Structure 1
Amino acid sequence: MDDLVPFESPKLLINGVRQRIPGFDQDCRDFLASCPKEIVYRKDPATREEFASIRFGSRMPGRLRVEATHCVTDLRHSLDQAVCDAAIELGRKDTKGVYFPFGRTAADLDREVVARCKGVDASLVAHIRGLNAHQGGDDELYAFGSLAGPIKHQRILQITTDLNSMGMGGPNFRMRGPAETYVRWSDLRNEMEFARTGPGGHINADTEFGLYVGLGTGAPLNGVATAVFARMVDKFERIVVDIEAETIRILDSRGA
């Protein structure tokens, strides 16, 4: 017998992620503090460009990637479960083929709504469609929710830095000639390339870096991974509670 009340399971998943965030955050901090680092420079003999990178003496622990993957998939599953619970409460006989829809574009989302919400109460479907889980709608929701598929074969975490924290222009960070700063990760070298100069230029980057572990996805999920997870826990919880409230509203309107 299933002893879970409607919408209890997705809330348990969300709360589980919330409880794991502090430990995950500390593990990320411990890794960055203990990992050996050095600034390395290289020149391209063909273009005469000079590049500067931070080389890390240790690779990111696999357990951090596993934990991050669990956070992403558990939050994604919470939305699927919320839609399934609502569908059953509103009269669908089973939850086969029912999922929370995401779409790359608004048109893609419309197609996903049709495919993923068959037989679900039309008013609830309209409510879910109105959450705009697509690019150009709720970009953050779409970007985070879409991670659940790609993380099967992509790196979900990467070490990165806030370029504004590097003290550029100070006595220990100097670049001469045409130059730019950026962040580019190299798995082969276990390095984070962060600056280049054109021919004849030179870099001196003896400075401190505000390093952090971020989600390897770019905008709109930039920033410390744990901060993104905390923000998304709140967002996904609001969505689940809203779906529950809409389900109750629909049932009340039927006189149920």
Structure 2
Amino acid sequence: MPRRTEAFSSPKILLERARSLIRDLEALLRRHFDQSAFENIVEIGDLGQQIHKLKLIRGVPDEAKTVLKDCISNLRDALDHAVYASAVALGRKDPEDTAFPFAATHADLLGKLRSKKFKDIPDVIQQIIIELKPYVGGNDLLVGLNRIRNPSTHMSLLRPLIDVPGINMNIKKLSANPPSTFGYTEWDCVRNEIILMEIGMGSIAEYEVSAPVNIVFTDTKSFNGEPIIEKILEVANEVERVIAMIEFQTRVQLRLLSSSP
């Protein structure tokens, strides 16, 4: 069994692995959603007008879903490992009843911390957990992490949606007949397309279009509609803060114990 603060290497390894997976996911998506992932199409409307669209012809790759699952699991596990590391460092013998608890309310959290399931968590670390507010309406990042981790671990992989937050369009030639409508619509996350313009029959339009791609959370109790990469980075930073808080307080307690007669 690890001795003293050596046990904190475990949550730190999990955190670093999660950060590595975030980088892998970002690179994977950048390769997958290059400009060849899009297609310019022109549909003819009811009045004969040209409806110019940019359509995404690739979905979210399965590999991205599994990388995301592994990243989320490592971040959530790192919280449990940090609590365990503190219990080991502070002299708990074979601490089996430790974990990082989540609750519905503040009162529910206090009740859990008093239960047998969490009896090996040192008192000073219990106080830190209470201050972190890992319950609904408290720490949204930690609660969100727990919420998105549970279905991907126990039920099924998350199913992210694709979002295109903006369009870069370079018009080379345009001769538009009426009726014409210019200006982009919002990205249609169901059809994976956006209408660029509608121009009258016989119009001529030549242009180049590029577009960045985000994948966003959907069908989750937290983070719905938010870009996955940015939000997971926020969560990773919060997990790092929690680990640092638990380790710091553990070291403080060790110094107090070593200086006591």
Same fold, judged at TM 0.5 (above): yes
Aligned residue type for 2:79: L
1:24-54 residue CA offsets vs partner (Å, 9 max, x unmatched):
212112222243457899xxxxxxxxxxx98
Give CA deviations for 1:53-79 in whole Å, capped at 9, x if unaligned: 986433321111111111100011111
Which is worse superposed, 80-89 or 121-130?
121-130
**Equivalent residue, structure 1, for 2:236:** 233
Is the contact between residue 166 and residue 210 of structure 1 (CA under 8 Å) also seen in structure 2?
yes
What does the per-residue CA deviation read over 1:223-254, in whole Å, with 9 as the maximum and x for residues that have no partner?
43222222222221111011011112223333
* RMSD (Å) for aligned C-alpha atoms: 3.7
Shift of 1:171: 4.9
Which residue does the alignment assign to 2:171? Answer: none
Say if 1:72 and 1:148, in contact at 8 Å, map to a contact too: yes
TM-score, L = length of structure 2: 0.70
Alignment of 1:65-84 (within 5 A): 65-84=65-84
Displacement of 1:211: 2.9
Q: Which amino acid aligns with 1:245?
A: F
1:213 aligns with 2:252: no
1:75-224, aligned counterparts within 5 Å?
A: 75-115=75-115, 116-152=117-153, 153-162=156-165, 165=166, 171-173=181-183, 185=190, 191-192=191-192, 210-216=212-218, 217=220, 220=223, 222-224=225-227
CA distance 1:15–1:126, shift in 2 (3 Å) = same
Aligned equivalents of 2:19 and 2:184: distance in 1? 42
C-alpha spacing 1:2/1:91, structure 2 compared with 1 (3 Å): closer
Shift of the 249–2 alpha-carbon distance from structure 1 to 2, 3 Å rule, reads closer
> When the two structures are aligned, how many residues end up with a matched partner?
226
Deviation of 1:2 after TM superposition, in Å, equals: 5.4
* Displacement after TM superposition at 1:219 (Å): 5.2
Of structures 1 and 2, the larger Rg is shown by 2
Aligned to 1:81, the other structure's residue is in SS state helix
CA contact (8 A) 1:156 1:215 kept: yes
C-alpha distance in structure 2 between counterparts of 1:194 and 1:36, whole Å: 11
Deviation of 1:118 after TM superposition, in Å, equals: 1.4
Gaps of 5+ in 1: 42-52, 176-180, 186-190, 196-202
Distance, in Å, in 2 between the alignment partners of 1:31 and 1:237 is 30
Is the Cα–Cα contact under 8 Å of residues 66 and 157 in structure 2 kept in the other structure?
Answer: no
Partner of 1:46 in structure 2?
none
Return 5+ residue gaps in structure 2 as ranges: 44-52, 169-179, 200-206
| Amino acid in the other structure paired with 1:232 | V
